[in-house]
Amino acid sequence: MNEIEGKVALVTGGSRGIGAAVALRLAQDGADVALTYERNTERADAVVDKIKGIGRRALAIQADSADTGAVTAAVDETAATFGRLDILVNNAGVFLVGSLEELGAEDIDRTLAVNVRAPFVAAQAAARHMTDGGRIISIGSNVAERTVFPGFALYAMSKTALIGMTKGLARDLGPRGITANVVHPGPTDTDANPADGPNAETFQSFTALNRYATPDEVAATVAHLSGDSGAYITGASINVDGGWTV
């Protein structure tokens, strides 16, 4: 039997990239999976079909993470549809970079709403449904620890906030047997950061392995944290970054 057989997961931003890889991996490991997305229903439905194809239940929910009501509703809908919620993966994120002069108030508000407020609100809502063995896993970023380029102050600020949130959640929820961790990917081949993009060679040169991650490589660590294998890991920041931070 798979480690998370019978469990239920919600992955925000699960229709593409790292989120889609996480959703599929958790389904392969035995979970029923709900995923949120912002715009692209077709991509979300394609992931749902793949999950159903491997014999698990799946649900796509359109929910902009900038909307706190939509985030809470997505958590509640997942628990209502599948009867429980065990694993929350806060993955949806916006990647707004630019010089200090370029980034305006709207960029700051959007980044904090999607990358910081939504994970917090989702964790609050999820904790109401979770029981012993619950998991809250947030996707941070390598730049939370090592910000090598100018223009990343806003994005790095938002991802660093997840480290503090995760430590606090670990204390708040530890007594209930629920863990909280943050996974920091390095450059990962997705639509947001394609391995054949204009800056890819520079990005990968900052890793010790001199290559991009595949989304599956990030998903593997999320899967480890989701099962019994992750039971004694909490409050941790885990780099899956090819050595970006060394």
- What distance separates the 2 farthest-apart alpha carbons in the chain? 54
Nearer to ligand NDP, 39 or 171 (CB): 39
Residue from the set 93, 119, 133, 134 that interacts with ligand NDP by CB under 6 A? 93
Query: Which residue shows structure tokens 């081949």?
Result: 189
Determine if 45 is a binding residue for ligand NDP (CB under 6 A): no
Spatial contact of 7 and 87, defined as CB atoms under 8 Å apart = yes
Tell which residue, 69, 57, 43, 70, has the closest CA to residue 9.
57
The three-class DSSP label of residue 241 is: coil
Residue from the set 50, 95, 147, 195 that interacts with ligand NDP by CB under 6 A? 95
- Residues 226 to 245 in contact with ligand NDP, rule: CB under 6 A: none
Instruction: Please name the amino acid found at residue 157.
Output: M
Does the annotation mark 37 as catalytic? no
Determine if 52 is a binding residue for ligand NDP (CB under 6 A): no
**Residue of 37, 155, 212, 232 marked catalytic:** 155
Spatial contact of 216 and 161, defined as CB atoms under 8 Å apart = no
Query: Which residue shows structure tokens 């985030």?
Result: 71
Tell which residue, 98, 161, 169, 167, has the closest CA to residue 134.
169
Q: What is the smallest separation between the CB atom of 93 and ligand NDP, expressed in angstroms?
A: 2
Q: Which stretch binds ligand NDP (CB under 6 A): 100-108, 129-137, 183-191, 229-237?
A: 183-191
Residue from the set 6, 39, 83, 174 that interacts with ligand NDP by CB under 6 A? 39
| Positive or negative torsion for Cα 34, 36, 42, 47 | negative
Residue from the set 66, 96, 130, 162 that interacts with ligand NDP by CB under 6 A? 66
Residues that bind ligand NDP (CB under 6 A): 12-19, 36-40, 43, 63-66, 91-95, 114, 139, 141-142, 185, 187-188, 190-193
